[in-house]
Structure 1
Amino acid sequence: MKIALFGGSFDPPHNGHNAIVKEALNTLDIDKLIIMPTFISPFKEKVSADAEQRLKWVKKLWGHLKKVEISNYEIKQMRPVPSIESVEYLNKIYKTKKFYLLIGADHLNSLHLWHDFEKLSHLVEFVVAKRDDIEIPKQFKDLDTKVKISSSFIRETLDTHEICEEIKDEVKKYYLQKH
């Protein structure tokens, strides 16, 4: 089976994430796209929205799409989960013959710091979503998404222009209560 994994905090999910999902489904030769919200990223101190809320938003946005599976594996661990652990978990379930790991271009500079990076790089092919005009090295497959929005900007400003319509009101209400 050929799968792609798209993980992240999705705090909140926005049009940039949506562009990555759509582009991956349209351009990658995959049987399944697994979207896996983190409990908390190994590179972050905290999240704003709780795990169950973020999972609910992700399911609402993409759970109905053909070839998409929403996984709560990392959330169920209730701790930061390195990507290598999620990849090994999915490899056991799906007996993958091709495994793509979708990342944003903003992660390229720290990729070598990821837990067990050498092993991870032998198990997956990284697919990099274009973001913020960051140059993507030729050795990576890329997704032509041209994202220029971040979840942190949305949380800080409560500007929901880049939030998908299906969850826009819920997201604004949720983060307003947090302020």
Structure 2
Amino acid sequence: MKIALFGGSFDPPHKGHDAVIKEALKTIDIDQLIIMPTFINPFKKGFFADEEKRLEWVIKLWGNLDKVKICDFEIKQKRPVPSIESVEYLYKIYQPSQFYFLIGADHLEKLHLWHNFEKLNSLVEFVIANRDNIEIPKKFKDLKTDIKISSSFIRYTLDTDKVCEKIKNEVKDYYKKFQKTDII
């Protein structure tokens, strides 16, 4: 079995994530794409939307796609989970002949700092989604998905132009409570 893993905070999920998922399903020879929201990214100090809300959004957006499975393994751990743990967990379940790991190009600079990177690198083939005009080294497969958006931009501006239609209003309403109000 050939599988791919796409993890992330999805705080909130947006059209950039959607493009990665759809391009991976279209261009990579896989039997299953596992989408795994984090409880909290090991490189971040917190999150805005709680894990249940982010999981709910991910399920709404991609839970009914062919070949897609939503996995709550990291959320259930209630702590930052290094990618190697998630990969080893999925190896036990799927025993894949090929394991692709989808990441955004913005992660390339610090990829070598990921927990137990050498082992992780030996277990997966990284597939890099284009982002922010970052050059992707030839040694990696790449996904042509260069959508210019970030979850933090959506949170801070409440500009939901690049949020998928199914959750657009919900996302805007949710993050409104984090906006600072100026009292004059």
Considering the TM-score relative to the shorter chain, is it more than 0.5?
A: yes
| Match status 1:114 vs 2:114 | yes
Which residue number in structure 2 is paired with residue 172 of structure 1? 172
> Max radius of gyration: which structure?
2
Alpha-carbon distance, 1:147 to partner: 2.1
Shift of 1:157: 0.6
Task: Specify the code of the residue in structure 1 equivalent to 2:136.
Answer: I
Q: Give 1:156 shift.
A: 0.7
Identity %: 71
Kindly tell me the number of residue pairs found equivalent between the two proteins. Answer: 179
Counterpart residue type for residue 152 of structure 1: S
Matched residues in 2 for 1:66 and 1:162: separation?
A: 23
| Distance in 2 between residues matched to 1:170 and 1:148, nearest whole Å | 22
Alignment of 1:1-179 (within 5 A): 1-179=1-179
Partner amino acid, structure 2, of 1:87: V
Q: TM-score when scaled to structure 2?
A: 0.97
Give every structure 1 segment of 4 or more consecutive aligned residues whose post-TM-superposition deviation is greater than 6 Å: none
Cα distance, 1:154 vs structure 2 = 0.5
Which segments of 5 or more consecutive residues in structure 1 lack a partner in the other structure? none
Q: Report the aligned-residue RMSD.
A: 0.5
1:2, distance to aligned residue in structure 2 (A): 0.4
Name the residue aligned to 2:182. Answer: none
The alpha carbon displacement at 1:178 in A equals 2.6
Tell me the TM-score normalized by structure 1. 0.99
Secondary structure of 1:152's counterpart equals: helix
State the one-letter code of the partner of 1:157. Answer: T
For 2:174 and 2:72, the matched residues in 1 are separated by 21
| CA–CA separation in structure 2 for the residues paired with 1:158 and 1:169 | 10
Unaligned runs of 5+ in 2: 180-184
